[in-house]
Amino acid sequence: MSTEITPVLVVGGSLVGLSTALFLALHEVPCVLVEPHLASHPHPRAVGFTTRTLELLHLVGIELPAIPAGFSLKRARVESLAGTWHEESAWTPKAQPMTEDSPFRGAAIAQDKLEPILRDEAKRRGADIRLGTELVRFEQDDDGVTAHLRDKSGRVYMMRASYMVACDGNKSPVREALGIPRKGPGPLETMRSVLFKAPLESYLEKGVHQFEIDQPDLQAFLTTYGDGRWVLMFKDDLERDEAALRLAINKAIGKDDIPIEIMTSGRWDLTALVATRFSQGRVFLAGDAAHTLPPTRGGYGANTGIHDAHNLAWKLKEVLSGTSEPSLLDTYDAERRPAAWTRLEQTFVRPDYAKRARGFADGVAILDEAGIELGQLYRTLATDPALPEAKRPDEWRGEPGTRAPHVKLEDGSSTLDWFGRGWVLVAANDAWRAKPGVVVVHAPENVREAFGLTSTGAALIRPDGYIAWRKDAP
């Protein structure tokens, strides 16, 4: 049997696998991605994509339609859409409004619409995407990973990769094969859902997009994918035939004369678990394989996974090209596992989930939403162990370990436009000289201030836009 060779094998072609392929392509690292399904799952899950995700997708030329300024995702408890509306509830009690921390706001796009965009762009950039192909098993040694792949014709062939990234979802066969345990509240419940089309846009006019349906014989959650499709999620695991689904949809709407097209139904395991290691040898876990975070209004699940992919891709590039020692790859677990764990805790410290895992987040303080999204600290780079795990981005002043801040430049562009492809030195004066592989940019006054630079200082920014170090003079 002949063996193909690739620097990186990506297992799983959903949001996180495709993002991994894209960010590897951005750094000109060839990869092969395998995914058993021939297309995206017809029942979308994620719909909310956050500011940081949009910053990262912008790097690979993907611009998603922005949500309107001032939009906040509102949820209300209702009898039905047409019936009595009870109270609205906030995701973060007493949340402060987001500041102007990014040129981007979030986007609402259904997972089955976003995946083809990512797939097409990854292919266009040269990623070898193999749909209809699954990983059957793998072995690893000191020099690489040998994967046994089965294509849609049933043919099994071998692929030798220097590294493998497992983006194979909550049940991750790769994580299971590695025997990596997970920690957290665990599987919470199994839910059923039905996806349908109906002309219900008028019920969105008050700005509420998520509805807790509260009737004595119907406890469910109703939300829209913003494209005429809606999903009704049942808080039980009952099998319903089409007539029962239609009846439940009508009850949730509060009317039975609205034309409804049932598209598909689903069964979900609502799970809250984080792997105890995000890598083993030459294999990395990303996305739900590493952390399964239950759906929230902060949209942590897919977004956190896309951020993992971005964190890992440039490190693989540095190590594969011989620019960095393989130990750089250890920082993937050291940075991304705490980030995922914080998001798990932040899910359970908020009212939506607090009751579901009593005791789990006891003593955890609620962090600011903007802080979780843009202000999490990587302790691998931090010089002061006393710094908190997250702060609002406008409260940081360029401390190493934080995301390099967005500052609007005179020509209307952003400091973020400087970062994302390689190493960048943001220097306060001309005394700083470029080293090979580092681009030097000169910081105007407002940038110096946001980066906490003295008049002779500089900050070195990693290819993922995080501040690696800051010095007062050359």
Ligand X SMILES: Cc1cc2nc3c(=O)[nH]c(=O)nc-3n(C[C@H](O)[C@H](O)[C@H](O)COP(=O)(O)OP(=O)(O)OC[C@H]3O[C@@H](n4cnc5c(N)ncnc54)[C@H](O)[C@@H]3O)c2cc1C
Q: Could you tell me if 242 and 110 are in contact, meaning their C-beta atoms sit under 8 angstroms apart?
A: no
Provide, rounded to whole angstroms, the least separation between the CB of residue 295 and ligand X: 4
Q: How far is the CB of 452 from ligand X (least distance, A)?
A: 31
- Would you state the structure tokens that stand for residue 473, as one six-digit string? 């003079």
Identity of the residue, 138 or 419, whose beta carbon is nearer to ligand X in the bound complex: 138
Q: Determine if 11 is a binding residue for ligand X (CB under 6 A).
A: yes
Helix (H) or strand (E) holding 316: helix 300-320
Q: Which residues contact 155 (CB under 8 A, 6 or more apart)?
A: none
DSSP secondary structure, 110-178, as one string: -HHHHHHHHHHHHHHTT-EEEET-EEEEEEE-SS-EEEEEE-TTS-EEEEEEEEEEE---TT-HHHHHH
Q: Is 191 within 8 Å of 232 (Cβ atoms)?
A: no
Does residue 287 interact with ligand X by CB under 6 A? yes
Residues 6+ apart with CB under 8 A from 121: 22, 60, 61, 62
Task: Indicate the residue among 78 and 285 with the shorter CB distance to ligand X.
Answer: 285
**Binding string, residues 229-268; x marks residues near ligand X by CB under 6 A:** ---------------------------------------x
Of the candidates 106, 184, 226, 295, which one interacts with ligand X according to CB under 6 A? 295
d(CA 221, CA 459): 47
The residues in 263-282 that bind ligand X, with binding defined as CB under 6 A, are: 268
Instruction: Reply yes or no on whether 203 is catalytic.
Output: yes
Does 157 sit near ligand X (CB under 6 A)?
no
Residue 144 or 169 with smaller CB distance to ligand X: 169
By CB under 6 A, the residues from 338 to 397 that bind ligand X are none
Could you say which of 203, 332, 353, 466 is catalytic?
Answer: 203
User: Tokens at residue 165, please?
Assistant: 């990234």
- What is the length of the chain? 474
Please pick, from the candidates 55, 101, 121, 168, the single residue that binds ligand X as defined by CB under 6 A. Answer: 168
Query: 144, 169, 226, 371: which one contacts ligand X (CB under 6 A)?
Result: 169
Q: Contacting ligand X (CB under 6 A), which of 288, 335, 368, 369?
A: 288
For position 51 contacting ligand X by CB under 6 A, the verdict is no
Interaction of residue 305 with ligand X, rule CB under 6 A? yes
- Judged by CB under 6 A, the residue of 8, 9, 12, 424 near ligand X is 12
Q: Which residues pair with 183 in a beta bridge?
A: 274
**Phi, psi (rounded to 5 degrees) for 37:** -80, 155
**Residues binding ligand X: number (CB under 6 A):** 33
195 forms part of the interface with ligand X (CB under 6 A):
no
β partners of residue 446: none
Distance separating alpha carbons of residues 211 and 276, to the nearest angstrom: 35
Choice from 7, 301, 375, 400 touching ligand X (CB under 6 A): 301
Minimal distance, residue 234 CB to ligand X, in Å: 12
Q: Which stretch binds ligand X (CB under 6 A): 161-169, 253-261, 407-415, 442-450?
A: 161-169
Identity of the residue, 7 or 295, whose beta carbon is nearer to ligand X in the bound complex: 295
We find the least distance from the C-beta atom of residue 264 to ligand X, in angstroms, to be 13
CA–CA distance from 143 to each of 146, 159, 164, 233 (Å)?
10, 13, 12, 46
Which region among 33-41, 91-99, 254-262, 326-334 touches ligand X (by CB under 6 A)? 33-41
Phi, psi of 359 (to 5 degrees): 90, -25
Using the rule CB under 6 A, give the single segment among 46-54, 244-252, 356-364, 463-471 that binds ligand X: 46-54
* Residue environment code for 427-456, b if the CB has 16+ CB neighbours within 10 A, otherwise e: bbbeebeeeeeeeebebeeebbebbbbeee
Task: Give the footprint of ligand X on this chain (CB under 6 A).
Answer: 11-17, 34-37, 45-48, 111, 134-135, 167-170, 173, 268, 287-288, 295, 299-303, 305
Q: Catalytic residues, which ones? A: 203
